[in-house]
Amino acid sequence: MTNKTRHIVTTLILFLTCNILFAQMSQTDIFSADSLLVIEKNTAKGFHNDYILFIPKGTKLHKQTFLLVEPNNTGKLSDSIEVHKEHAIFLATKNSVGNNISTELKIPILVPIFPRPASKPLIYTHALDRDVILEKSTNLKRLDLQLLEMINDARNVLKTMNIIVADKVFMSGFSASATFINRFSFLHPAKIKALAIGGFNGILMLPQNEINSVKLNYPIGTNDFEKLFKQKFDFETYKSIPQFIYMGELDDNDAVQYDDAYNKKERKIINDNIGATIQKRYLECQKVYLKVNINATFKTYEKVGHWTTSNMNLEVIKFFLAQMKQNGK
């Protein structure tokens, strides 16, 4: 079967499935079956990559709920977008933190299918690093803005299914996708209702321009924020976002020491001024965040490395559930 034929067959299956679901939905107040949609890129709307929408069985209809967003993290380089698509689908539908949140809280989840090309190994797209922000190629340019447009598009797609989601989204991520969210939240704090991130190499973007008289440019700090993004950092909105930030005490997956995550200058700044190890950096970042009253809860899990456990997943779910209850959802 050719790729074109496979695409046509997939589209027909989705069309038939959605029609069956719509017929069922007309007789109930909840979404009747798990549904996976692959939404194709729409350059006219501003997103140049496809994205995944997973809608779990039990999602409420006609009543406002939340959209969960988890950036994709393939974990490896590949010039094949199919590789990244496969991992994004797995994240949305299988036993991941995002899927657990979605299925337990009965809320839809959006996962972008952003590439991480082997032909451009220093552009760490899945972590939204500085190289991504400076990139000019169409499909990689300003992935943060592409994600915003995907969210807007997903809101309209869901509306056609009688699923009404709030203007602000939940965001969840682990490892590189956690780093993506941390940086994205600095750029677009007004778009986020709450976020939960873990396994992020112990380093968080700092809401300050310097440390020990050393300038902190993006993605370490905010020194060149206005110059780079043509907007001021909205610290007041940022610090009000409820955040659940967690790490395993044995986590030694240190991306800081590799060139795709940080260049030599950035690495030296981090190692010399924030911490040369994950756990030292994590403690320093906690001090910075809490000192300026960022609305963050930090937790370290004993006997856990660079992975999540059922208990960690449960606490993340409870965190988002508490946010839903505050809004009467």
Percent of the chain with pLDDT over 70: 91
pLDDT, one tens digit per residue, over 212-259 is: 999 999 999 999 999 999 999 999 999 999 999 999 999 999 999 999
Range of 129's domain? 3-326
pLDDT(30) > 70: yes
**Model's pTM, two decimal places?**
0.91
pLDDT, one tens digit per residue, over 3-12 is: 443 443 344 3
pLDDT, one tens digit per residue, over 267-321 is: 999 999 999 999 999 999 999 999 999 999 999 999 999 999 999 999 999 999 9
Q: Answer whether 232's CB lies under 8 Å from 225's CB.
A: yes
Q: Which two tokens stand for residue 255?
A: 């991306």
169-174 vs 68-69, strand pairing mode: parallel
Percent of the chain with pLDDT over 90: 88
CA–CA separation, 95 vs 217, rounded Å?
36
Q: Which residues contact 96 (CB under 8 A, 6 or more apart)?
A: 70, 90
- Residue of 211, 183, 206 whose CA lies nearest to 195: 183
pLDDT tier at 328 (50, 70, 90 boundaries)?
Answer: low
CATH number at residue 59: 3.40.50.1820
| Structural domain count of the chain | 1
pLDDT tier at 327 (50, 70, 90 boundaries)?
Answer: confident
Burial class from Cβ neighbours inside 10 Å (0-12, 13-18, 19+) for residue 276 reads middle
Q: State the pLDDT at residue 25.
A: 45
